[in-house]
């Protein structure tokens, strides 16, 4: 089994750059609290902005999760064809490794409920956008994410397939 530091990001702190296990470059992000503080000083809706950032993050993660799952399982399949449990385990490990807490998934047609525990303050909109893009990328179909609960350190999200237009 791969170690977490081999599975996710390798940092080059001198330049603020990182690469993931698939070799794709990235950039070190500021602390979430610092990002929220900077956005709060602008005329931008912080929640909308964080949700948009989360969507971009989720889209980029989808591009690399198939490769990361292949490393874990030895199977070369699309994310939609991958077994659910290794994918969900990868999501749990990924969020935990990056400081966004631990998550549990509850499938209940027609929704997928994601409970994220020990989330940093201000992460709810970011995680909402992330899971919306991640699940949409796996399903290859539009997904809507609704936050159904938010309390200190816990976010509960419901994801369901958006109606086709």
> pTM, whole model, 2 decimals?
0.74
Tokens linked to 148: 């159904």
Q: Where are the beta strands (DSSP E) in 8-127?
A: 9-12, 17-20, 25-27, 102-108, 111-117
Q: Stretch 43-47: mean pLDDT, rounded? A: 79
- DSSP type of residue 1: -
Q: Identify the pLDDT of residue 6.
A: 47
Phi-psi region of 90 (alpha: psi -120 to 50; beta: other; left: phi over 0): alpha
**pLDDT band at residue 5, thresholds of 50, 70 and 90?**
very low
What are the structural domains, with CATH classification, of the chain? Answer: 31-161 (3.30.1380.20)
Tokens linked to 142: 């539009």
CA 138/CA 10 separation, integer angstroms: 25
Q: Stretch 87-116: mean pLDDT, rounded? A: 85
Handedness of CA 144, 147, 112, 4 (dihedral sign): positive
CA 100/CA 8 separation, integer angstroms: 14
What values do phi and psi take at 94, rounded to 5?
-60, -50
Token pair 């490769």 is found at 67
């Amino acid at each position: 089994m791969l170690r977490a530091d081999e599975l996710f990001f390798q940092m080059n702190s001198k330049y603020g750059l990182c690469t993931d296990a698939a070799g794709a470059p990235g950039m070190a992000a500021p602390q979430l609290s610092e990002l929220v503080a900077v956005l709060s000083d602008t005329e931008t809706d912080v929640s909308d902005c964080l949700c948009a950032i989360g969507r971009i993050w989720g889209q980029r993660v989808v591009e690399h999760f198939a490769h990361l799952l292949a490393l874990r399982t030895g199977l070369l399949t699309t994310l939609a064809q991958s077994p659910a449990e290794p994918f969900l385990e990868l999501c749990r490990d990924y969020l935990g490794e990056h400081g966004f807490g631990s998550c549990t998934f509850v499938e209940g047609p027609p929704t997928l409920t994601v409970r994220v525990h020990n989330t940093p303050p201000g992460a709810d909109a970011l995680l909402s956008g992330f899971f919306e893009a991640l699940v949409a990328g796996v399903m290859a179909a539009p997904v809507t994410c609704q936050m159904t609960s938010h309390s200190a350190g816990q976010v509960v999200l419901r994801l369901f397939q958006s109606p086709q237009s």
